[in-house]
């Protein structure tokens, strides 16, 4: 048996092929990990085809094939990036166009050669047994350079792969990290195509890392396992090709893919046995304790039903959330959408003097006189129950609603717009994405409604008399709870919360029966109560201002906290136990909700914030806060988890007097 496994390598050409293949496997493991994590497999496939014109020209000119392949691969990547910038051509479309174009040009060039079939076959499928000492040196140098680049650029590559915005705020230069990864991909392909050819190099670049991702989660371990799996594929592929008389490169690639499939199957079997065992044990426990267990009401996401597949016409689905800021000049109504990841600003019209700006996570609602202009920020998060979907489209104007909006709340399907005169209009949120303003289907607003918040496919309302009701396809029904003199209403991920004269109420229940939970103000609380509250979108903790104090409501804990802050201008909270407060002297502070102590403070504005005029706002998401400075045409991005560090200063074209965040 041992003799059978070692006999092929008694020939020098097979030994050199093994060494070359192992080096290529290690090289592809370092790069292939990032290819998979960034979802760039199609780009990699296109670049392998894109090398053909460069290699063909180099062959005809008698120069280095590797240099020609490198130039062509980089030209392919640059072309994809350039065409992909067009708002009318998606990235995969540009890749497909260039793939066909480059391959066609390469075949045309090669067809001018007298040795067309031999040259093209060698290029496409490689000749692993023809590897020379010089090729080994090139592979070793490429491996050394790639390893150094991966080590040096590790932090930047991780940040740009998982959170491009954080890469910018940390100063890791994603505009350089992304091209660097593309160059490393080109190096791996050009250095390896002699071994397995361009059509099969993707087998080493993708299959071993995909196999490793089944068994490891840290990037370093994925790379190490990918190198081991790739080397094993090279060894087994050479042994099989020796005895079977098959093409060496193709056999190596086939073995690599086969190992990946087998690994996936083993992983699935392993994951299936564990739930079966757990389910069996659980069944025994449930059977023994059935008489003592009482069913508990479940809470479904308030923003949608969490069951149907999500397909949005005309939108791009993303791997992560974008951050867009809708900015409005109150005096002129000039409006723009600022992309906080790319630091680009898109104008979306001018609407005359604007007195207020509201948001629902995607759309901005500009109160201009007795009407409301609606703009699409072009980014939003769809709550799908167990996970989120992230979408993007082009920013633009939607239309005008003939009422002045005082508050806005939304689910995935409907938007409730409360007018300044107290009336409520329900809009179809999906139609807004098509620039059409239509009433939400299947829902009507009952008479005498003072506040309304969409809850999935239903509507929760509070009447002027304080009755809490739910409106659905079957009509309107009273709920067991009261909210006298409602002043605000906001949705969380799993509930609806209304502010009342006596405190607040929380409505939960998902698709089933709804429950109203009272959250009264604490004894001894100041007499002046907040008339509006803010929070991180879908979070359960709220913050508001009133009477020289910051009010914090944890709706899940049913707990109010009052923090005395005499000079507060704006406040918000991410629900992490801290609350941010913008002070009149232009500084931003962070307070611990449990101890009421200010834990950090940083200067933002050069001087005091004027009392007159539009006041700055404090927008917040899961890891950043944004404060607008209209006078300086600036928006400050704050890393509130890092001592209120000013991560970036975003300079705007439009005067950012009013601001709301979208996309998160």
Burial of 134 (0-12, 13-18, 19+ CB in 10 A): exposed
Q: How do residues 445-469 score in pLDDT, each as one tens digit?
A: 888 899 999 998 889 999 999 999 9
DSSP 439: B
Helix (H) or strand (E) holding 176: helix 174-196
Exposure b/e, 56-87, CB count within 10 A at least 16 = b: bbbbeeeeebbebbbbbbbbbbebbeebbeee
Task: Report how far residue 112's alpha carbon sits from residue 225's, in angstroms, rounded to the nearest whole number.
Answer: 43
Task: Report how far residue 603's alpha carbon sits from residue 490's, in angstroms, rounded to the nearest whole number.
Answer: 31
Q: At what angle do helices 133-152 and 12-37 cross, to 10 degrees?
A: 20
pLDDT for 304 equals 52
Q: How do residues 429-451 score in pLDDT, each as one tens digit?
A: 999 999 999 998 888 888 889 99
pLDDT for 335 equals 97
- Range with the largest mean pLDDT of 52-66, 121-135, 563-577: 563-577
Pull the structure tokens for residue 184: 């490393």
Mean pLDDT over 311-323 rounds to: 74
Mean pLDDT over 318-334 rounds to: 90
User: Is 221:229 a contact under the CB 8 Å cutoff?
Assistant: no
- What is the pTM assigned to this prediction? 0.64
Task: Report how far residue 111's alpha carbon sits from residue 57's, in angstroms, rounded to the nearest whole number.
Answer: 11
Task: Report how far residue 631's alpha carbon sits from residue 403's, in angstroms, rounded to the nearest whole number.
Answer: 30
Task: Report how far residue 568's alpha carbon sits from residue 548's, in angstroms, rounded to the nearest whole number.
Answer: 7
Q: How do residues 530-585 score in pLDDT, each as one tens digit?
A: 999 999 888 899 999 998 899 999 999 999 999 999 999 999 998 889 999 999 99
Alpha helix locations (H) across 219-362? Answer: 219-244, 248-289
User: Is 484:520 a contact under the CB 8 Å cutoff?
Assistant: no
Q: Residue for token digits 């000049």?
A: 329
Closest CA to 483 of 507, 509, 512, 455: 507
DSSP 292: G
Task: Report how far residue 140's alpha carbon sits from residue 145's, in angstroms, rounded to the nearest whole number.
Answer: 9
Strand, coil or helix: 539 = coil
Strand-pair partners of 357 = 366
Lowest model confidence (mean pLDDT) among 223-232, 386-395, 550-559, 596-605: 386-395
Task: Report how far residue 457's alpha carbon sits from residue 442's, in angstroms, rounded to the nearest whole number.
Answer: 9
* Residue of higher predicted confidence among 465 and 76: 465
Task: Report how far residue 256's alpha carbon sits from residue 292's, in angstroms, rounded to the nearest whole number.
Answer: 53
Pull the structure tokens for residue 506: 């929380």
pLDDT for 328 equals 97
Pull the structure tokens for residue 662: 């979208």
In the predicted structure, residue 294 carries a pLDDT above the cut 50 = no
Q: In 457-501, where do the E strands start and end?
A: 458-463, 467-472, 475-482, 488-491, 496-500
Domain borders along the chain are 11-201, 316-662
CATH of the structural domain 11-201, one choice from 3.30.70.890, 1.10.3470.10, 3.40.50.20, 3.40.50.11740: 1.10.3470.10
User: Is 112:78 a contact under the CB 8 Å cutoff?
Assistant: no
Residue 250's contacts (CB-CB under 8 Å, 6 or more residues apart) are: 125, 196, 197, 200
Pull the structure tokens for residue 104: 């066609």
Mean pLDDT over 412-425 rounds to: 90
Task: Report how far residue 461's alpha carbon sits from residue 446's, in angstroms, rounded to the nearest whole number.
Answer: 9
11-201 and 316-662 have identical folds: no
Decide if domain 316-662 falls under CATH 2.140.10.
yes
C-alpha distances in angstroms, 392 versus 322, 389, 627?
A: 8, 10, 24
Task: Report how far residue 175's alpha carbon sits from residue 171's, in angstroms, rounded to the nearest whole number.
Answer: 11
Count of positions (residues) in the chain: 664
Q: What is the CA radius of gyration of the chain?
A: 30
Largest Cα–Cα separation, the chain: 95
pLDDT for 52 equals 77
Q: Residue 199 CB: number of other CB atoms within 10 A?
A: 18
* DSSP-based helix, strand, coil % in the chain, nearest 5: 40, 30, 30
Residue 281's contacts (CB-CB under 8 Å, 6 or more residues apart) are: none
User: Is 21:51 a contact under the CB 8 Å cutoff?
Assistant: no
In the predicted structure, residue 272 carries a pLDDT above the cut 70 = no
Strand, coil or helix: 142 = helix
Q: How do residues 181-231 score in pLDDT, each as one tens digit?
A: 888 888 888 777 766 666 567 778 888 988 888 888 678 888 999 999 988
Lowest model confidence (mean pLDDT) among 34-43, 466-475, 505-514: 34-43
């Amino acid at each position: 048996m041992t003799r059978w496994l070692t006999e092929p390598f008694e020939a020098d050409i097979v030994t050199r092929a093994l060494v070359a293949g192992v080096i290529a496997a290690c090289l592809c493991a370092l790069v292939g990990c990032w290819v998979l994590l960034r979802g760039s497999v199609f780009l990699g496939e296109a670049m392998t085809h894109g090398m053909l014109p460069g290699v063909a020209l180099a062959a005809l000119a008698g120069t280095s094939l590797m240099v020609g392949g490198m130039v062509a691969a980089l030209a392919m990547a640059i072309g994809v990036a350039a065409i992909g910038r067009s708002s009318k051509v998606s990235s995969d479309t540009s890749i497909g166009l260039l793939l066909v174009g480059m391959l066609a040009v390469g075949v045309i060039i090669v067809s001018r050669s007298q040795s067309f079939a031999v040259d093209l076959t060698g290029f496409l499928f490689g000749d692993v047994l023809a590897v020379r000492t010089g090729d080994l040196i090139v592979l070793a140098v490429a491996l050394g350079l790639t390893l150094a680049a991966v080590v040096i650029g590790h932090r930047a590559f991780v940040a740009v792969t998982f959170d491009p915005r954080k890469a910018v705020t940390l100063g890791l230069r994603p505009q350089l990290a992304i091209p660097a990864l593309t160059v490393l991909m080109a190096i791996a392909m050009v250095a390896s195509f002699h071994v397995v050819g361009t059509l099969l190099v993707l087998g080493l670049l993708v299959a071993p890392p995909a196999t490793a991702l089944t068994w490891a989660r840290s990037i370093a371990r994925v790379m190490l396992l990918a190198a081991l799996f790739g080397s094993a594929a090279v060894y087994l592929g050479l042994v099989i090709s020796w005895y079977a008389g098959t093409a060496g490169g193709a056999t190596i690639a086939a073995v690599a893919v086969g190992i990946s499939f087998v690994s996936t199957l083993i992983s699935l079997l392993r994951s299936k046995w564990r739930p079966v065992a757990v389910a069996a044990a659980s069944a025994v426990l449930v059977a023994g304790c059935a008489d003592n267990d009482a069913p508990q009401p479940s809470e479904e996401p308030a923003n949608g039903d969490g069951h149907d597949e999500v397909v949005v016409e005309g939108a791009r689905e993303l791997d992560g959330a974008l951050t867009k800021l809708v900015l409005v000049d109150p005096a002129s109504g000039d409006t723009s959408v600022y992309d906080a990841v790319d630091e680009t600003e898109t104008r979306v019209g001018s609407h005359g003097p604007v007195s207020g700006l509201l948001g629902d996570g995607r759309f901005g609602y500009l109160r201009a006189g007795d009407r409301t202009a609606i703009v699409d920020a072009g980014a939003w998060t769809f709550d799908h129950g167990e996970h989120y979907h992230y979408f993007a489209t082009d920013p633009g104007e939607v239309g005008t609603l003939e009422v002045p909006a005082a508050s806005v709340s939304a689910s995935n399907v409907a938007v409730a717009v409360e007018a300044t005169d107290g009336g409520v209009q329900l809009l179809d949120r999906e139609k807004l994405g098509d620039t059409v303003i239509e009433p939400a289907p299947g829902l009507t607003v009952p008479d005498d409604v003072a506040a309304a918040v969409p809850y999935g496919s239903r509507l929760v309302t509070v009447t002027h008399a304080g009755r809490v009701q739910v409106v659905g396809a079957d009509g309107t029904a009273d709920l067991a709870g009261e909210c006298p003199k409602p002043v605000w209403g906001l949705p969380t991920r799993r509930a609806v919360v209304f502010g009342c004269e006596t405190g607040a109420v929380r409505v939960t229940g998902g698709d089933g029966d709804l429950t109203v939970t009272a959250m009264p103000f604490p004894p001894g609380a100041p007499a002046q109560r907040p008339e509006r509250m803010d929070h991180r979108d879908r979070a359960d903790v709220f913050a508001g201002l009133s009477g020289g104090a910051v009010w914090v409501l944890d709706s899940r804990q049913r707990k109010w906290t009052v923090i005395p802050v005499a000079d507060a201008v704006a406040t918000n909270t991410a629900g992490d136990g801290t609350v941010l407060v913008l002070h009149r002297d232009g500084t931003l502070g962070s307070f611990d909700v449990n101890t009421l102590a200010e834990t950090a403070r940083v200067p933002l504005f050069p001087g005091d914030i004027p009392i007159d005029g539009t006041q700055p706002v404090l927008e917040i998401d899961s890891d950043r806060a944004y404060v607008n400075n209209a006078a300086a045409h600036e928006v400050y991005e704050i890393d509130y988890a890092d001592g209120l560090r000013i991560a970036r200063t975003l300079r705007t074209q439009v005067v950012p007097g009013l601001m709301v965040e979208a996309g998160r």
